[in-house]
Chain A
């Protein structure tokens, strides 16, 4: 027997499907919505609907966009000789906020992981190779996550484009800037040591 009226139960069930929301949080959010103003709830429903109806992957880089191509791909001031390959669309935000990168992106859609059954065909690696060929890209910056699967994906991309006249680079790993050395975790600090540079 359900504890609450069926629509409320349904809302709780739907909410608890979201990442990092457990049953308790789902219940709290559901009751917040039930208690709240109708307009807030409709606004949320509308936003959910809109995002599913209007957002699609950019046909060139697979970033999320409302148009055929995303804003970054359409921006003629950007350097189209460089492509930064990332795992997910949300990896673009942090890189954009650095203001240091003026090239284009390519969203792979994940990382290679035999354990999860993720093969090169499940990622947009062929599309990346095709783009490099067509656009005459000079450099690929592979910015996959610094973990086992991300690093394997980076190695695989390097291997796939080995025959093309393109430079393949990866992000350096090192210390967070502005913090104190003593607060860096040992593994990060250890890597920073391994990758130390001449002054």
Chain B
């Protein structure tokens, strides 16, 4: 059975001082007014199972105002017979992040995010529309994030590649300004190409699969027009080293490396039209969702396990037919946690099958059997015993 998140405790995470949320397999709906902490809750789930926030590269941001650390504890159901794994992420500004799995020190962050925690996550935040609408770097980040949660070695190569490019750029500027000779440029070229090729191999392998998943997802979400994602190289892979060499003079002048995977892009198109430039807001939003579903399908295809889906405010701005489609999609997922301000987006049948989590007054509530709302965290030991 595919792993899922059973309970999460948030300590000093964003607006939460100490709260607990209990989750079920299938669809979980987080409902509450604006600015109560719905998005923060989804972020905390991602933080708990990947070790970092999908919303910000700056960890201090997740620490509650006035607190000196943030911590998440998650109970993940793995395997059939009630087997469980308990993972915790602790972060205090200025210190190394502490990951633990069942009380013992966890693996490196890259390995933790790539299944080391027990489950992977694919998330959607409204701002993600920039993957389709925004700059090439947004699209590369989507690819790199996806490939990194599948292979820690890819994450490492991407990190090392960025370092090597940084070194090469500095060398280019030193050459331009007369502080260095060109003697070592070929060396850094080789190092950059070496690492860059590892990244290209990963991306080239994934793209055709993503293209297929993307096309079928967007067909279901949007309509029959032919959708596609198509990778465009800043230099043809077979001429990569040659292209880098030919760019020497121009690169020295500009002080940056002009070819390689850090300059590549992919085109998102519908009916042959490039959505980045010509797509409507609605099309771009649908295409973003389809890319996220494609990521889910790819993770499942490679690992045989569904990632947890974390979708923030996904139902607003959609028409009834698409809401229904999405609700069905999430219900059939191993586990999806989605947030909304409005439960009326869901029909009764769906609400009956879903777990509804209420956020009120900045706290996570549940309705007890006698119909009274109370904080989940107030119930003694709820995190451990649920």
Binding site for B on A (CB under 8 A): 112-115, 117, 119-120, 147-149, 151-152, 155-156, 159, 185-187, 190-191
B318 at the interface (CB under 8 A from A): no
CA distance A188 to B267 in the complex (A): 34
Q: Are A186 and B111 in contact (CB under 8 A)?
A: yes
Q: Are A186 and B110 in contact (CB under 8 A)?
A: yes
Asked, given contacts A152-B191, A155-B190, whether A187 binds B167 with beta carbons under 8 Å apart, the answer is: no
13 contacts between A and B (CB under 8 A): A112-B187, A114-B168, A114-B174, A114-B180, A115-B167, A117-B174, A152-B167, A156-B184, A185-B111, A186-B114, A187-B110, A187-B152, A187-B156
In the complex, the 4 A-B pairs of residues with the closest C-beta atoms, listed nearest first: A114-B171, A190-B153, A186-B152, A114-B170
Residues of B near A152 (CB, < 8 A) are 164, 167, 184, 187-188, 191
Q: Are B108 and A185 in contact (CB under 8 A)?
A: yes
CA distance A183 to B18 in the complex (A): 33
Q: Are B186 and A159 in contact (CB under 8 A)?
A: yes
Residues of B near A149 (CB, < 8 A) are 167
Total CB contacts across the A-B interface at under 8 A: 62
CA distance A6 to B186 in the complex (A): 53
Interface residues of B in 173-205 (CB under 8 A from A): 174, 179-181, 183-184, 186-188, 190-191
Residues of A near B114 (CB, < 8 A) are 186
CA distance A173 to B210 in the complex (A): 33
CA distance A191 to B156 in the complex (A): 11
Residues of A near B190 (CB, < 8 A) are 155
Asked, given contacts A112-B184, A185-B107, whether A148 binds B170 with beta carbons under 8 Å apart, the answer is: no
Q: Are B167 and A114 in contact (CB under 8 A)?
A: yes
CA distance A119 to B184 in the complex (A): 8
B138 at the interface (CB under 8 A from A): no
Candidates A120, A147, A187, A190; contact of B183 at CB < 8 Å: A120
Asked, given contacts A185-B107, A186-B108, whether A155 binds B183 with beta carbons under 8 Å apart, the answer is: no
